Amino acid sequence: MADGSTASSTDTGIQASPLDDPEERRVLHAALDSFQQYRQAAHYNITHLRRQSFYSLPSAHMEILCEPPFSLPQTFDAVDAAIDSNADISEAILATGLSMFGAYVDEEAWKGKATPTDLDKARSTIRQLYRDWSCEDPWALNFNNHLSRANQLQSVKIPDVHPHAALAQNLEGFQPEIPPSDRMNMTAGDFCELYLESRYRSAFDAVTTCFFIDTASNVIDYIETVKHTLRSGGIWINLGPLLWHFEATPTPADTERQSSNSGSAPQTATSGTRRSAGFREPGSFELSNDEVVALVERFGFDVIEHRQAPAGATGYIQDQLSMLQNVYQPAFWVARRR
């Protein structure tokens, strides 16, 4: 557990915001727009296109599928209702985002900024509410591998546990060193950009990374950042697989070639831009688990425990009733900073 120490100002005495970076603002605008577009995009991609395909069937086949127990038109209507429920959450997230980041959002500047990839991320965020805030999951937008239509159309309420109530219950009867308001928070921005700041040097007694380190294009960046934040003797606990997120990402040479072919000049990194391409420096690589552990040790850690995760195989936003089960065998290791 971190010691709960408060952050000081930067060396210049001015607390810079990650959103002062134009690239960060671009990402924020795309995120806001993706939640704004969720309702329309989901209706179009999930039910509208399926209705078009359905009504293109031979009339005799279509008549059969309109009857019970199939009743596909009613299924499409039910999925539309589920999309609207999810979209209400999406638009609530949008409203909160506009309220939180209003100083960095120009009027109307964020609309139309989301790409198809951004829209996929918004849909994934709605799904991840299951992972974090419920015991079950709505699977309405997925038509594959359902044992029954009822499973696809089940609804759940979030959160199943209110975080404030849970924290208050745990704190009854004693005065903790870390106040409740500091026990759970969110930091927006790039992990390395933020936590390599001087105010986080030797700030924590422990750091936990859960299903995280494989999001790095260069995992050395993450190792150096974790080391920067830990005191001597501090503990790093890691749990997760190695589904390297930047595998098959175009190389800098490919990007330059594409820019040249399109007639635009390739971008050149400047001294003030650490991650010019989506907060990511050029270059990437993928390691096996034993190689990651060896790299951690190379950078000043002693691995004191290394084994398969105690929970064994685990899914990720996985429907337990699905006919298809994808599971990870995540690694689990604990390292101490020398």
Domain borders along the chain are 19-152, 190-249+284-337
Question: What pLDDT score was predicted for residue 111?
Answer: 85
Mean pLDDT by 10 residues, the chain (338 residues): 38 58 83 93 95 96 96 96 93 90 72 88 82 69 90 83 76 68 74 94 96 94 98 97 80 49 41 40 85 96 86 79 90 96
Question: What pLDDT score was predicted for residue 320?
Answer: 83
Question: What pLDDT score was predicted for residue 159?
Answer: 81
CATH number of 190-249+284-337: 3.40.50.150
Question: What pLDDT score was predicted for residue 135?
Answer: 67
Q: What is the DSSP letter of 161?
A: S
Degrees, nearest 5: CA angle 242-248-254: 145
H helices of the chain, in order, are 22-42, 49-54, 59-66, 72-100, 116-133, 149-152, 163-170, 180-183, 191-195, 219-229, 252-262, 289-298
Question: What pLDDT score was predicted for residue 218?
Answer: 93
Residue 4 falls in which region: left (phi positive, over 0), alpha (psi -120 to 50) or beta: left
